[in-house]
């Protein structure tokens, strides 16, 4: 694995390797000395064309725990916002000797462009691109689910998948990179996924995805759910007629107090409630649900650092690039080209 661009083409063994490595990284987080010397002398660039303080500091913490040097490059207020192209920015970072580029971009596919072109010779990690994918978010979600699911089964999480776990993802699927990355990854790990959304917020072609699709949240809960993931919904979507009002949206598709109680009524005592954050309390999730013992919101944030450490470690350690001008990577470490 040379880059992490999407979960769509992530194999089961790759996914398990990342999750297992993250388990060891999580253990480091519990030690007194939370730092490892692993990536000493390596440079990780956080290249953010779109604001996301949460994701940036999570990657920054991960890189620093592995002793990498971190450069934060925010496109806003920099030459990028003055019209400098992605190509020029990438070549600049390459000249500075970046070993890995963590890229967040409003345009779907921007990380693929970096990886496919010769603009930069560095590992590219997709930290969220447009409405395409957000693979590290899906990995941290899967990590969170796996710990829960393995504990219920009484087995160690290392090496395990999510076979048989019922996961519902509700909200603005159309515009959600989190939903896309989760559908592909959870399928690979063996979970059964149901997407719940108003028909206006589902993409044309969703019927070909490896999941169930429902317009009815209550019906989905009644069928049994082990993890309920709520997606952030932007209120402005109302203005583009995706739904009539935010009130109607939360009544039909929000995880409100009534639905929180329904979990108990249905006997779903072990169902967790997930949210990638930042939450719109009162819109897609009620305060009581967000703060309930079922909520894994903070665990997700914590696990995000472990996942990102694992990804950085796996991408940067197996890479035996020589000095500039020599071959890019050894044949044993490159198995996948972005297509």
Partner 1 sequence: MASQHQDPGTGAYLIRGAAILGGAPEDLLIRDGIIEARGLNLAAGGATVIEAAGLVALPGMVDIHTHLREPGREDAETVETGTRAAALGGYTAVHAMANSTPVADTAGVVEQVLTLGRTAGWVDVRPVGAVTVGLAGEQLAELGAMADSRARVRVFSDDGICVHDPVLMRRALEYVKAFDGVVAQHAQEPRLTAGAQMNEGEVSAVLGLAGWPAVAEESIIARDVLLAQHVGSRLHVCHVSTAGSVEIIRWAKSRGVNVTAEVTPHHLWLTDELARSYDPVYKVNPPLRTDADVQALRAALADGTIDVVGTDHAPHPSEHKECEWAQAAMGMTGLETALSVVQHTMIETGLMGWADFARVTSTAPAAIGRVADQGRPLDAGEPANVILVDPAARWTVDPSKMATMGRNSPFAGRELPGKVVATFFKGHPTVLDGRLNTPYRWLPETAEMPGTPTAATAGRN
Partner 2 sequence: MTSAPEAPVPATVLLTRVVLNQADIDRALTRIAHEILESNKGSQDLVLLGIPRRGYPLAVRLAEKIAAADPTVDPAAIVGQLDVTMFRDDLSHQAMRPPYPTQLPRTGIDNKVVVLIDDVLYSGRTIRAALDAIIDLGRPRIVRLAVLIDRGHRELPIRADHVGKNLPTSSAEKVRVRLAETDTVDGVPVNEVVIEASA
Whole-number Å distance between alpha carbons of 117 and 96: 18
For residue 37, the minimal CB distance to partner 2 (Å) is: 6
- Whether the link from the prior residue into 114 is cis, omega within 30° of 0, is no
| Cα angle for residues 72, 76, 78 (degrees, 5° grid) | 75
Looking at the Cβ atoms of 169 and 297, the one nearer to partner 1 is: 169
Assess 124 for contact with partner 2 (CB under 8 A).
Answer: no
DSSP string, 4-53: B--STT--HHHHHHHHHHHHHHHHHHTSSS----TTTT-EEEEEESS--H
Which residues on adjacent β-strands are paired with residue 230? 170
Applying CB under 8 A, among 37, 154, 267, 293 the residue interacting with partner 2 is: 37
Looking at the Cβ atoms of 32 and 207, the one nearer to partner 2 is: 32
Cβ atoms of residues 133 and 5 within 8 Å: yes
Assess 107 for contact with partner 1 (CB under 8 A).
Answer: yes
Assess 188 for contact with partner 2 (CB under 8 A).
Answer: no
Whole-number Å distance between alpha carbons of 129 and 144: 22
Looking at the Cβ atoms of 37 and 154, the one nearer to partner 2 is: 37
Site residues (CB under 8 A) for partner 1, limited to 147-206: 177, 180, 203-206
Site residues (CB under 8 A) for partner 2, limited to 201-230: none
DSSP string, 114-171: HHHSSS--SEEEEEEETTTB-HHHHHHHHHHHHHHHHHHHTS-STT---TT-EEEEES
Assess 266 for contact with partner 1 (CB under 8 A).
Answer: no
Site residues (CB under 8 A) for partner 2, limited to 317-336: 317-321, 332-333, 335-336
Looking at the Cβ atoms of 247 and 336, the one nearer to partner 2 is: 336
Assess 129 for contact with partner 1 (CB under 8 A).
Answer: yes
Segment contacting partner 2 (CB under 8 A): 17-25, 77-85, 254-262, 282-290?
17-25
DSSP run (H or E) holding 105:
strand 100-105
Query: Considering CB distances under 5 to 8 angstroms, the limit depending on partner class, which of partner 2, partner 1, none binds residue 108?
Result: partner 1
For residue 113, the minimal CB distance to partner 1 (Å) is: 6
**Which token pair is 75?**
């496109």
Whole-number Å distance between alpha carbons of 160 and 82: 47
Assess 38 for contact with partner 2 (CB under 8 A).
Answer: yes
Q: What are phi and psi of 124, to 5 degrees?
A: -110, 125
Assess 23 for contact with partner 2 (CB under 8 A).
Answer: yes
| Cα angle for residues 4, 130, 294 (degrees, 5° grid) | 75
Q: Which residues bind partner 2 (CB under 8 A)?
A: 1, 11, 13-14, 17, 20-21, 23-24, 27-28, 31-33, 35-38, 66, 158, 310, 313-314, 316-321, 332-333, 335-336
Q: Which residues bind partner 1 (CB under 8 A)?
A: 8, 85-87, 105-110, 112-113, 116-117, 129-133, 177, 180, 203-206, 208-209, 338-339
């Amino acid at each position: 694995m040379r880059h992490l661009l999407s979960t769509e083409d992530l194999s089961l063994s790759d996914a398990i390797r990342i999750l297992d490595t993250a388990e060891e990284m999580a253990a480091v987080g519990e030690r007194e000395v939370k730092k490892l010397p692993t990536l000493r002398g390596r440079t990780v660039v956080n290249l953010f064309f779109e604001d996301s303080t949460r994701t940036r500091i999570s990657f920054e913490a991960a890189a620093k725990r592995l002793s990498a040097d971190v450069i934060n490059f925010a496109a806003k207020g920099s030459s990028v916002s003055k019209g400098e192209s992605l190509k020029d920015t990438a070549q600049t970072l390459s000249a500075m000797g970046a070993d890995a580029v963590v890229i967040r971009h409003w345009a779907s596919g921007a990380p693929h462009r970096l990886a496919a072109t010769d603009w930069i010779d560095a590992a590219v990690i997709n930290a969220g691109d447009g409405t395409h994918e957000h693979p590290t978010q899906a990995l941290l979600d899967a990590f969170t689910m796996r710990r829960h699911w393995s504990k219920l089964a009484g087995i160690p999480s290392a090496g395990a998948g999510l076979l048989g776990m019922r996961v519902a993802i509700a909200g603005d699927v159309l515009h959600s990179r989190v939903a896309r990355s989760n559908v592909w990854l959870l399928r690979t790990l063996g979970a059964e996924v149901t997407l719940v959304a108003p028909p206006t917020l589902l993409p044309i072609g969703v019927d070909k995805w490896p999941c169930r699709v429902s317009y009815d949240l209550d019906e989905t809960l009644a069928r049994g759910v082990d993890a309920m993931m709520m997606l952030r919904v932007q209120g402005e979507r109302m203005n583009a007629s995706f739904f009539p009002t935010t009130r109607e949206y939360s009544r039909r598709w929000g995880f409100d107090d009534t639905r929180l109680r329904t979990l108990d009524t249905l006997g779903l005592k072990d169902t967790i409630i997930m949210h990638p954050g930042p939450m719109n309390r009162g819109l897609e999730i009620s305060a009581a649900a967000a703060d309930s013992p079922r909520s894994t919101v903070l665990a997700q944030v914590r696990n995000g650092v472990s996942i990102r450490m694992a990804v950085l470690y796996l991408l940067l350690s197996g890479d035996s690039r020589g000095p500039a001008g020599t071959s890019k990577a050894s044949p044993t470490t490159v198995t996948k080209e972005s297509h």
